[in-house]
């Protein structure tokens, strides 16, 4: 585990990503999350296993480039850093993203 997240693995996972591609991946028991840009694959795996009490088979990550966004038409700025993690769970495990009422 990296020293960034020692003792606070809950800070690794920011939110689940709900897109069409992510919904199709749910059929293969694969979940997509937005994670901290400093998080490593072992950090992500440990956080998912601890928070959701599941067993993780694999973790794939992607770090897309930061796009430039103009503020008020004049001032250039950059969007926040985003790292995506696609987590494949064991066959008998599942994460309930939408709690039933």
Domains of the chain: 3-89 (3.30.70.330)
pTM exceeding 0.85: no
Closest to 37 measured CA to CA, from 85, 3, 100 = 85
Q: What is the pLDDT of residues 60-75, one digit of tens each?
A: 999 988 888 888 888 8
Helix (H) or strand (E) holding 24: helix 20-25
Rg of the Cα atoms in the chain: 15
User: What token pair was written down for 31?
Assistant: 């979940």
Q: What is the pLDDT of residues 12-26, one digit of tens each?
A: 999 999 999 999 999
6 Cβ neighbours under 8 A, 6+ residues apart: none
């Amino acid at each position: 585990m990296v020293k960034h997240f020692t003792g606070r693995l809950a800070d690794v996972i920011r939110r689940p990503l709900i897109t069409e591609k992510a919904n199709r991946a749910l059929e293969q028991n694969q979940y997509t999350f937005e994670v901290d840009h400093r998080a490593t694959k072992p950090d992500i795996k440990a956080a998912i296993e601890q928070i959701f009490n599941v067993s993780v088979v694999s973790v794939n990550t992607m770090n897309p480039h930061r796009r430039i966004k103009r503020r008020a038409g004049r001032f250039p700025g950059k969007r926040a850093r985003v790292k995506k993690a696609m987590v494949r769970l064991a066959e008998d495990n599942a994460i309930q993203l939408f709690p039933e009422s």
